[in-house]
Amino acid sequence: IPCPFGAEWLAAFANDVELLVRINPYYEFRHWKWTAKDRAGFFLRNHSNERDLEASLTVRRPAPSVLRIEYDNGLKTATEILIEAAPQGSQLTLTDYYGGENRDQRLAEVDKSLKAWGEALHLHFVRVKRWGWLAPWRWYMRRVWTPMKPSSRRIVWMMYLITVAELFFFMFVGLIWWVEYGR
């Protein structure tokens, strides 16, 4: 996943594991609670495989450029995040690891959201590059957008678009009125 910022910025971003995971557009979190500095419990609905998952995760940093999120429940045992420098900034590589017993019989539990998560992360990086200088935008993203369900995010986005379209429509009507009757 290309990132327009340097590897140091990306590593600092990846340290906010809750934000990193919540950006996944298929995860609908019903509960998230940090139980220790590097451990959190959560309950989510994964819409990519239509399964509920209640588990705990542990965050490890095996190397400065690697973040490993290990899960204590489910077929997926870990997600590894590799951060590397790139010519235009940096890049992030997501890798899911699956283990456990009866893997062949549990294929329905496979998380199919990895590609969409990567695309959502890239879009988030682009938005931060464009709007990150604006303090109200940063506050909105952290306090309002991040805790939202993915479906709520899409609905709010559509409402923004409709509002902007209505604004332009009424401005157009006002311009016509001004041209015809304002003289």
Give the number of other Cβ atoms within 10 Å of residue 37's Cβ: 7
Q: 101-105, 111-115, 164-168: which has the minimum mean pLDDT?
A: 101-105
DSSP 56-110: EEEEEEEETTEEEEEESSSSEEEEEEEEEEETTEEEEEEEEEE-SS-GGGGGGG-
Per-residue model confidence (pLDDT) at position 108:
85
| pTM assigned to the model | 0.85
Q: Which amino acid is at 142?
A: R
